[in-house]
Structure 1
């Protein structure tokens, strides 16, 4: 089988952590950044989506301008937690070669505490690129582990988002790119994504 280069995880990471992005209303985002954990108003019973791609997050939240997404957070989580989520995830789309029976896939999707979705990565102008960015949805046990065990730090990167956006609007795309968080291909454990790539 040909190597899949369109569906790769690109992220900012260290030996022990990986950075993911989320955007919230200030009433959730500001206390989260201040305290390094989500406040009581954060609903852990809802699915929460984390995104290793800064620019995909900018596309989703409109550079922090969309309602209830005005505070952009860089959430540093353990690589062990990230791996656990991927190991327990189900792909959000049915792929016959991966899932076989459609009913089995629907059961797996319903039961899985995490979901993987691949959407077009974005460039500095938020236009789609020919390769995909990972979105990882967490619910149930995964959301609880995320909030209580995996997070090692939360930073408010809204000012950075606004600064980059201002440079893009001014036509200084080189200056904007220079401020982007450095994301590299993530070193996936062997076989981890084999059943999560369409």
Structure 2
């Protein structure tokens, strides 16, 4: 199965997605950063695949996932996170043995997980999308330094969901945020299992 990073990005930033309830989402949208009740004490997962988050949040209809946020973060921080990331599974092509992976995983500031990408209709694809878990030691930095802008994509998501419900797949597809391959250095590719 192909593993590659696909994202919406420009020269300076890459967009990742998260879903939250009203109490976390509204202040974040207003202030371009997170504040309590957002937890700074547990890992937060960011995803550059919009459709993967749609599968996870059921198009923003799951409890406490009603608001879909598009978060622009600096590419320099994104790439740094990837370069120190440790896979959530001990890939034999990367780790010589399980003990080596276990040690790295326990000390990791960033976790990397690959999950099947989704189609507009929610079906699993033969390619995997990346999820990046930002650990407690980096969450404040993520909030204060990485984030450039937080956009409320909830109205867009509702519109796409409605079009899908009406069977208007072409119209819905046109509204989905565009994503293209995001290249990273070879050593990062090897580290996080891009293939």
Residue of structure 2 equivalent to 1:75: 71
Deviation string, structure 1 residues 138-180 (Cα, Å, up to 9, x no partner): 1122222211110000011011111101111100000000001
Q: Which residue, 93, 104, 107 being the options, matches 2:100?
A: 104
Structure 1 residue 156 and structure 2 residue 152: aligned?
A: yes
Could you tell me the TM-score, scaled by structure 1's length?
0.95
Tell me the equivalent position of 2:192: 196
Among 54, 58, 75, the alignment partner of 1:62 is 58
> What's the offset of the Cα at 1:40?
2.4
Instruction: Provide the residue aligned with 1:44 in structure 2.
Output: 40
> What TM-score does the superposition give when structure 2 sets the normalisation length?
0.96
SS in 2 for 1:65: coil
Q: How does 1:107-186 map to 2 (within 5 A)?
A: 107-186=103-182
1:19 aligns to 2:15 (yes or no): yes
User: In the TM superposition, what whole-angstrom CA distance separates every residue of 1:21-52 from its partner, at most 9, and x where no partner exists?
Assistant: 00011100111011100012211111100000
CA deviations on 1:43-88 (whole Å, 9 max, x unpaired) are: 1111100000000010000110000111110000000010111111
Question: How far did 1:110 drift?
Answer: 1.0
Structure 1 segments (4+ residues) deviating >6 Å:
none
Query: Where does structure 1 lack aligned partners over 5 or more consecutive residues?
Result: none
User: Cα offset for 1:127?
Assistant: 0.9
